[in-house]
A and B are shown apart, each in its own frame.
Chain A
Amino acid sequence: MFLIEVLIPIIIYYVLKSYTDWLADNSSIPYIIFVFLGGIYYLYIMLFLYQAWIDYYLDLWIITNERIISIEQQGLFKRTTSELRIHRVQDVTSEVHGFLPTIFKYGDVHVQTASEQERFNLLQVPHPDEVARKIMALQEKYVEEIGLPPSEVFEIKKSSEKDEAKPV
């Protein structure tokens, strides 16, 4: 897709040169406009690529034995930092979707918590299966060593009571 975008002005140049005489004179108005538009087009493609790279490069996820911290850069003026305590992790899904992610072994990791909150998403991370396994292992270790906090136990009990109360 990117290659097509890069080739567009070159294709237009050869089509115009072959079928019209607009670009024949190096100092004619159509030639000047074409060169300026082409230059601007390539400059802004570069800018778009650089911005996309920054968006990716400034995304950061820190996984410790107590919490998962997500720092996400969204566009130029939005930066979100969120934190999730590891004991709140309920299940973790890793997803490798598409040709390039399969070849280069990267994908998304979705972390589901006990609450009804939005999933915690780690996007385009290398080796997502390994990351998912690591998070689950850390969660199990945390619960084994420290146990769930009383508020969390209460919440789980409450939700299981609710499930039991449902008519079958």
Chain B
Amino acid sequence: MAIPYYIFLIIYLLTVLIFFALSVLNFYHIIRFGYFRLTSVFVTFLYLGAAVVIILLTLNALANVDWAANIEFGNYQITT
């Protein structure tokens, strides 16, 4: 049985997607309750900037990975 490496990438992207969905809820709160001022804009951009930097660093650290490769396990041969 073989599991392709890109499965890990898909799981990572799903968690990033959940992260952005929760972030959108937070942005909604900031806008909805009328406090979209300089402080909140500054903190929100700082937050988004840091998030993008973390994602880019993560993907950069994995730039050499061949995502099409497989993890092989369970290749047993039964001989009689």
Give A residues with C-beta under 8 Å from B.
26-27, 29, 32-33, 35-36, 38-40, 42-44, 46-47, 49-51, 53-54, 57-58, 73, 76, 79
Contact = CB atoms under 8 A, between A and B. Distances in A.
Contacts of B39: 57
Chain A interface mostly helix, strand, loop or mixed? helix
Contacts of A39: 12, 54-55, 57-58
Contacts of B22: 47, 51, 76
A45 to B, nearest CB: 9
Given A26-B64, A58-B29, A40 B15 contact: yes
Contacts of A54: 26, 29-30
Contact of A43 (B25, B54, B62): B54
Interface in B37-80: 39-40, 43, 47, 50-51, 54-55, 57-58, 61-62, 64-66, 69, 71
B58 A38 contact: yes
Nearest to B54: A42
A157 B16 CA distance: 62
Could you say which interface size class chain B belongs to? Answer: 20 to 34
Contact of B12 (A36, A53, A57, A58): A36
Given A29-B71, A47-B23, A58-B30, 7 more contacts: A39-B12, A46-B50, A47-B26, A53-B43, A57-B35, A57-B43, A73-B33
19 contacts: A26-B61, A26-B64, A27-B64, A27-B66, A29-B5, A29-B71, A32-B5, A39-B58, A40-B19, A42-B54, A43-B55, A47-B22, A47-B23, A50-B23, A50-B47, A53-B43, A73-B33, A76-B22, A76-B26
B54 to A, nearest CB: 5
B8 A36 contact: yes
Contacts of B11: 36
Interface of B: 5, 8, 11-12, 15-16, 19, 22-23, 25-26, 29-30, 33, 35, 39-40, 43, 47, 50-51, 54-55, 57-58, 61-62, 64-66, 69, 71
Contact of A35 (B30, B33, B61, B71): B61
Contacts of A27: 64-66, 69
B16 A43 contact: yes
Contacts of A42: 54
